[in-house]
Chain A
């Protein structure tokens, strides 16, 4: 019986753990993390499924495959009776751009993409060169993360609170370690190519807002499954500050109110900061690590940056396949 450890309980860690359980039913999967649910970076994500090649660097075919797998999984949930439990739902919204063409990545999966006419823009008070009305899905982490954890546990998974200082701790204890520690990879495995892109946002009570809005200057409004709306935001590369910048939160409100006056004076529920763990490209690969002669089979799955929700399931499917590869090698070796 193969013993697998997954480190990290964000949307990537949980999705990967579940995919491993489902691909290798005989394995025991144990999850280790020092941040769960409300403490994870995933928790604050808007959850809107709108990936773009513009923001995701790497092999386009690979990215497209990940997006498609994630879309197939979540869109089916959004249209099913599980919509409420998972926080996955269909939603239309406006993408504001300086380009006439919509990004091919979202165009390849969305239910519908349409360029607004000048008249349509005018009567909504939109002053951008191009606005696309896009029919897509959104998955709110407030429901998604608890759902993923429940599914993981119902399928026999156990989780432990642990701050991992080195992967060496797992040598001899687990057959395979899956590393979904995102930003912590800098210290944990010495990967200096992963960096934070700081995002700040406000959650407000505005259940009358039924569309999402996303501009090129990172002003956005993303309705959540529970009727609250996430207002944002920013992309501050290399910024590690986790404290809320109070002046900036006023700026977020101001920008969102300018775009959507209807959200003015919506009650603020909380302000939040998250560091998007960004790597170019996202790392999904096997590695045989060596600790003074002691080998450790590792699968990496991290660096999703701003697209944790949109890419997590697709990368988790691939990561689970890599874990399965390891198990095949193991059984081959053990028969030698």
Chain B
């Protein structure tokens, strides 16, 4: 059975690896136009944080997030933490929004508590906040770590831009479509939209906590990665501009320095723009069988800013759907 995974961001890589976990002798090829460090995932903070993703049902979000949480926990407390750069980080989250749904807190072991009065002084515009412990993933190391695992077990890759799934139907039995924002062109999915994220990476190793502030629509974050600190951010829906904008950079830097004055002394490493693959909801489903082709397609895209938070759980659902295909008697397969 020949499997093709489209996309090599965190969604594509984790899907490919989890398929291998379940079907060690599967013949998988990842086809992507971008690999780490040039994917959208590479520029992500990326902190595990559960929030609403469009209309995606909350119970699905919780299922995927829970599974990802356990995976990140296992990674952090394993000897792989240094290679994969998955880290446990504690930090501060504050908001002016009193609606509890704005923070979907699902874990007993997130270890959260309310911010003290002293700590709230960091966020003068906020009305309440939490201190909690979460996981932060450096995708510039995590994706290569996944890739190594994938290739060590015989996985293949092709660097190519696909114009249409028609190109792949004759060559593969199953396609796992993790095309992210590209699905807009590739599948003509008009429910997909970019959520533009401007970020600056600075050298500030004395910062050991994350700081996350939501005032109205304005999001400010400081995420201490293992190589540098990510400052952000913007959340501009429908904005396709991949180039850094001076006014966005200045504004977010200013907001971050208000929280942590010592950032004024940090040296700037680089600035970066990522277009989060937003959608009305996450599309994770098996396309109904087509009369025109024997190839089956599983879609796994539209995670918006929650790629890291959901990836491992979504990859498991991909494997479950793949299982459904192989169980069906109409497919004469040898995985």
Show the binding face of A for B, using Cβ within 8 Å. Answer: 79-85, 87, 89-92, 111-112, 114, 116-117, 119-120, 123-125, 133, 135, 140, 206-211, 223, 225-227, 257, 260-266
Contact = CB atoms under 8 A, between A and B. Distances in A.
Contacts of A92: 90, 133, 208-209
B265 A262 contact: no
B78 A112 contact: no
Given A111-B119, A114-B113, A210-B87, A262 B76 contact: yes
A254 to B, nearest CB: 13
Interface stretch (B17-25, B172-180, B199-207): B199-207
B226 A90 contact: no
A264 B109 CA distance: 24
A263 B206 CA distance: 18
B77 A227 contact: no
Given A81-B261, A209-B87, A261-B77, A225 B206 contact: yes
A89 B108 contact: no
Nearest to A267: B82
Contacts of B53: none
Given A82-B262, A84-B262, A111-B116, A207 B205 contact: yes
B109 A119 contact: yes
Contacts of B81: 208, 261-263
Nearest to A126: B77
8 contacts: A81-B262, A84-B266, A135-B131, A208-B226, A210-B87, A210-B89, A210-B209, A257-B79
A210 B265 CA distance: 20
Interface in B84-121: 85-90, 108-109, 111, 113, 116, 118-119
A161 to B, nearest CB: 31
B205 A227 contact: yes
B88 A211 contact: yes
Interface of B: 73, 76-79, 81-82, 85-90, 108-109, 111, 113, 116, 118-119, 131, 133, 138, 204-209, 224, 226-227, 260-262, 264-266
Contacts of A263: 81-82
Contacts of A80: 261-262
Contacts of A211: 88, 90, 208
B89 A133 contact: no
A67 B256 CA distance: 31
A262 to B, nearest CB: 3
Contacts of A123: 73, 109
A261 B78 CA distance: 5
A84 B79 contact: no
Residue from B133, B206, B209, B226 whose CB has the most chain A CB atoms within 10 Å? B206
Contact of A262 (B82, B89, B119, B266): B82
Contact of B265 (A79, A84, A117, A135): A84
Given A210-B89, A210-B90, A111 B118 contact: yes
A166 B265 CA distance: 44
